[in-house]
Structure 1
Amino acid sequence: MANRARVSDTLWRAVGRQFRRPAGLGGRLMGHVMEWINRAPNREAIAALAIAPADVIVEIGYGPGCAIEALAASAPRGRVYGMDPSPAMLASASRRNREAVASGRVNLSQGDICDLRLAPESVDKILAVNVVYFLDEDGGELKEARRLLKPGGRIALYATDQSVMRRWKFAGPETHRLYGREELFELLLRAGFDPGDIAIRQVDVAFGVTGLVATATKQ
């Protein structure tokens, strides 16, 4: 029984690592899983951004590229940039968005937002869905996101509530940092957003899963 438990724990940790940074065949399979589980969170977070047709948009952790596709459709006269640490997801998202990439409307890269070489205050909207678990606890990446935002620009984060995540064996402390409403609020404060410019609402996405959509506007 003890050996079986250790094997089970090892397998769940491997799943958690694939969520964090998909790689190889498992990563390609994880891309299909992400496409399914992020459908409702993407919809909720993108709606919270209130995208305008000419917006410049960044997605942190674009995964298989489904939200990139939706963002490009929402901003037909704008530009969409995406950063993701996984080469497997870069390949998948590039295939999905090949026409928009070829036209120059979408630019996808491997890395994190700190590797995105854009001028300060050049971005209108930033999206990060089911990514916050993997970001620096001190808000480093979100500080960079805030630096890129224009005055009046907005970031939208989606995270499954920690009360739900604690039930999922793959979301262990080795790979995931869990967030509730208070923790998300504090993270955005550490990134430099003012308390009055942060809003967090609860959403029910599917199968009893409760998530949080947090938005913050740069003044």
Structure 2
Amino acid sequence: MATLQQLEQLAAQLRQPKGAGGIDVANMMNENNIGMTYHSINRLELHEGQKVLELGHGNGGHINYLLNQADRLQYTGLEMSELMMEEARKINRQWVENRQAAFFLYDGDQTSFNDNSFDKVFTVNTIYFWKNPVALLNEINRITAEGGWFNITFAQKAFMQTLPFVKFGFELYDTKKVAELVTKTAWKIANTGSETETVKTKTGELVEREFTTITLAK
């Protein structure tokens, strides 16, 4: 059984991967969260030539899947972890060289993009770590084009609260809590979809995880 110190270290790596341990955690996250990530991408309904932004891309193991959804897509990824930005650039070197993918660091609150820069935005399993959720949602609204979407994908609170490491810096959400958060912003909820999948937890157990993608429209 993991000690409290080990659980706290795991929580810190999940929030912002660093060092050799961070690469291992990122690989595990990509494997365990791929179903959630594909769910979020599929619900973007991407079309030719659209510009896509992702918050918290991790090691970017899913970007090949995204960029094959339609022709001439442009992907931009934002990360708080310098290690993950570097890993994503390595894994997606060909897309970067073709100028279809670009990766940048940000502080979790503000971006340097112009108004109306992106057609579609998505994020998977980052909402638990948002320091200023209303401000971030409004910032993403600013840089999303009129008629654009923002998909927020997260594991439901009922599942998350069974995990021992979430006591260390995680803010847990259910659909109702996210909906209440959205009412404080410029967004409107357009769609909600949930699924349940069997996954291995960060501590090794197989469990049923319910997750949800909420689509916000501008």
State TM-score, norm by structure 2.
0.90
The corresponding residue for 2:31 is 36
Take 1:191 and 1:25, find their aligned partners in 2: how far apart are those partners? Answer: 38
C-alpha deviation, 1:136, in angstroms: 2.8
The corresponding residue for 2:209 is 209
CA RMSD of aligned residues (A): 1.7
The corresponding residue for 1:73 is 68
The alignment-based identity, stated in percent, is 22
The corresponding residue for 1:99 is 94
Take 1:28 and 1:132, find their aligned partners in 2: how far apart are those partners? Answer: 21
Take 1:49 and 1:209, find their aligned partners in 2: how far apart are those partners? Answer: 22
The corresponding residue for 1:191 is 185
CA contact (8 A) 2:197 2:209 kept: yes
- Which sections of structure 1, spanning at least 5 residues, go unmatched? none
C-alpha deviation, 1:201, in angstroms: 2.4
Which moved further from structure 2: 205-214 or 148-157?
205-214
CA contact (8 A) 1:41 1:205 kept: no
State TM-score, norm by structure 1.
0.89
Which moved further from structure 2: 136-145 or 51-60?
136-145
Take 1:192 and 1:130, find their aligned partners in 2: how far apart are those partners? Answer: 22
Runs (4+) off by over 6 Å: none
Take 1:205 and 1:74, find their aligned partners in 2: how far apart are those partners? Answer: 23
CA contact (8 A) 1:21 1:85 kept: yes
Match of residue 200, structure 1, among 187, 192, 196: 192
- Which sections of structure 2, spanning at least 5 residues, go unmatched? 199-206
C-alpha deviation, 1:199, in angstroms: 2.6
The count of corresponding residues between Structure 1 and Structure 2 is 210
**Corresponding residue SS for 1:150:** strand
**Corresponding residue SS for 1:108:** strand
